[in-house]
Amino acid sequence: MSGNKHKMRVGDSPWVRRTLIGLTLFLTFILLVVPLFSIFQQAFMKGAEHYFTSLVEADTLHAIGLTLVVAALTVPINLVFGVMLAWAVTRFEFPGRKILMTLLDIPFAMSPVVAGLLYLLLYGNNGWIGSWLYDQDIQLMFAWPGIVMVTVFVTCPFVARELIPLMQQQGREDEEAAVILGASGWQLFRRVTLPNIKWALIYGVILTNARAVGEFGAVSVVSGNIRGETNTLPLHVQLQYEDYQAAAAFASASLLAMIALITLLFKAFVEWRQERSLKIESDKEKQVTQ
């Protein structure tokens, strides 16, 4: 294409361009790349053997397990919640719809620590609901259910936020067409709605999962930091570091970093798939019109 040769706009001095690109690359390097590498460098500080022994330590293994369990519970809960919420606000008109969409952003706007505190005040043993639950012999705070609850809170906007704009843009005509053709509610969702929102949904799940695994602030308030019981991986990293086990802390941290890298790869793949499906469609359209 001839357009590519002339990417520079009229009036852009080459100096401005070089400075901006150079500065961006430099900052990316020192802010993002160097710390990421240093995690692995620190983790292997005492050799590969030490790295692996510190990972298979009982408390670390427990932290890994708990983190995976929390993510495994949080993701499906927010998947269902996100789809329901997106469906409700894009397919129905009801009073309070706009407010609901604003409320959805609370977890993004509020500091996670504050969220953790709110849950602690509400569900803790002296709390409003917590004291009643305590009488029923149910403990949520300082136990894994509390960790799941705050993680669900912190990650609940991701799926809905991905779906709402897409579903708004696609409109309800497809669904109306399906109902007129006789589809039941479930047939409608599985055969028409779900395929239309598939990639956005996967994207939302990836983001939810990444945040659920990495959440620190809210979880640290409600977990109580009981080693081998209520310690998730991010909390465990901090504990180890405070115990002067720097290499072990970085070994645990390297796991989180790897999860992040895998998430990025997966995210790039989903974006590529989304783009490709759009591109194939437009290419074919061109063929037809030619």
Partner 1 sequence: MSILIENISKHFGQFQALSPLSLNINEGEMIGLLGPSGSGKTTLLRIIAGLEGADTGRIQFGDRDVTNLHVRDRRVGFVFQNYALFRHMTVADNVAFGLEVLPRKERPSATEIKKRVMHLLDMVQLAHLANRFPSQLSGGQKQRIALARALATQPEVLLLDEPFGALDAKVRKELRRWLRGLHDELGFTSVFVTHDQEEALELSDRVVVMSNGHIEQIDQPGALYASPNSRFVFDFLGNVNVFEGRFEEGKWHNGIANIERPNTAEPKDGQLYIRSHEFFVSPSPTDTASLPLRIIAINPIGAEVRLELTPIDWNSNEVWEIDLPHKAFDKNCFEKGQTVYVTPKAGYFFAADAEKPILLNWEH
x/- contact string, 187-216, with partner 1 (CB under 8 A)? x---xx--xx--------------------
**Of residues 152-191, those binding partner 1 (CB under 8 A):** 173-174, 176-184, 187, 191
CB of 281 to partner 1, least distance (A): 4
**Of residues 109-148, those binding partner 1 (CB under 8 A):** none
How far is CA 84 from each of CA 79, 88, 93, 149, 160, rounded to the nearest angstrom?
A: 9, 6, 14, 18, 8
**Cβ atoms of 179 and 162 closer than 8 Å:** no
CB of 97 to partner 1, least distance (A): 14
Among 4, 13, 289, 290, binds partner 1 (CB under 8 A): 289
CB of 205 to partner 1, least distance (A): 19
CB of 182 to partner 1, least distance (A): 5
Q: Which is nearer to partner 1, 156 or 188 (CB)?
A: 188
CB of 89 to partner 1, least distance (A): 18
Distance CA 253, CA 67 (A): 13
Stretch that binds partner 1, among 51-59, 209-217, 258-266, 276-284 (CB under 8 A): 276-284
276 near partner 1, rule: CB under 8 A: no
Q: Which is nearer to partner 1, 122 or 179 (CB)?
A: 179
- Residues found near partner 1 in the complex (CB under 8 A): 173-174, 176-184, 187, 191-192, 195-196, 281-282, 284-285, 287-289
